Amino acid sequence: MLKIAPSILAADFARLGEEVEDIRRGGADFVHVDVMDGCFVPNISVGIPVVASLRKATDMFLDVHLMIDRPVRYVERFCRAGADLVNLHAEADSLENNLEALRIIRANGKKCGVTLKPATPAEALSPYLELVDLVLIMTVEPGFGGQKFMDDMMDKVRAVRRMLDPVNPGCDVEVDGGVDPQTAPICKAAGANVLVAGSAVFGKADRAAAIEAIRNS
């Protein structure tokens, strides 16, 4: 099933509750929360208190994308704050520590995911394939919204879908970065079923129309 996950990075943070209600009414499936620490990526965004506030404000599925170093240190706190899915980058720590982070997320009753930066090959997912509910393939360098979609990532999306099908067919494949009504069909054709969109949703006045335009593209 296709899911649309607007990224609040492009929302008005002073009115976050209303912004999330707007996309809920507009038919969004997930709220995508971009967490940046200024170390793993050259930008700082939001953290645990914002996830906790969102949890009080909405019953929508909170898809938390951690762009932080050594996420094993913080995943339990994001789970307790009310994330529904906690997603970490394969590049953010050793395999051993990342596997421990995934174990903690699952022990807290939450879904878990692993993300790959553009330069990281699909093979890096091999140790995680059977353990995750979602794989995220970045279609921009993580750190900022509003960047140009990298269509050369579609081979990786196809490869990941092929790797998952025999061992974890229910696993979602998400793409993030530069997704809009023009690039969404390319993602769907490659096998992505969760589309993150920041500027293409929150940058538009009519969020319902923006979500529908991506869904029906």
Catalytic residues: 34, 176
Task: Output 127-130 pairs: Cβ under 8 A, ≥24 positions apart.
Answer: 127/95, 127/99, 128/90, 128/98, 128/99, 128/102, 129/163, 129/164, 129/167, 129/168, 129/171, 130/167, 130/168
Residue choice 199, 207, 211, 214 for contact with ligand DX5 (CB under 6 A)? 199
- 174 near Zn ion, judged by CB under 5 A: no
107 or 209, CB closer to ligand DX5? Answer: 209
- 176 near Zn ion, judged by CB under 5 A: yes
Residues 6+ positions from 150 with CB-CB distance below 8 Å? 118, 139, 140, 177, 178
- 183 near ligand DX5, judged by CB under 6 A: no
Taking residues 142 to 171 in sequence order and writing x for each that binds ligand DX5 by CB under 6 A, - otherwise, the string is xx-xxx------------------------
Find how far residue 58's CA is from the centre of its chain: 18
Closest CA to 127 of 98, 104, 159, 156: 98
Give the nearest residue (CB) to ligand DX5: 198
- 180 near Zn ion, judged by CB under 5 A: no
Query: Which alpha helices (DSSP H) does 82-183 contain, by range?
Result: 95-107, 154-167
**E strand or H helix that includes residue 4:** strand 3-6
Instruction: Give min distance, CB of 152 to ligand DX5, in A.
Output: 16
- 34 near Zn ion, judged by CB under 5 A: yes
- 110 within 8 A of 91, measured Cβ to Cβ: no
Q: Which residue has the tokens 């990298």?
A: 150
- 210 near ligand DX5, judged by CB under 6 A: no
- Using the contact rule CB under 5 A, the part of the chain among 16-24, 61-69, 157-165, 200-208 near Zn ion is 61-69
- 29 near ligand DX5, judged by CB under 6 A: no
Q: Which of residues 79-138 bind ligand DX5 (CB under 6 A)?
A: none
- Using the contact rule CB under 6 A, the part of the chain among 4-12, 16-24, 49-57, 120-128 near ligand DX5 is 4-12
Q: Would you tell me which residues interact with ligand DX5 (CB under 6 A)?
A: 7, 9-10, 32, 34, 65, 140, 142-143, 145-147, 176-179, 196-200
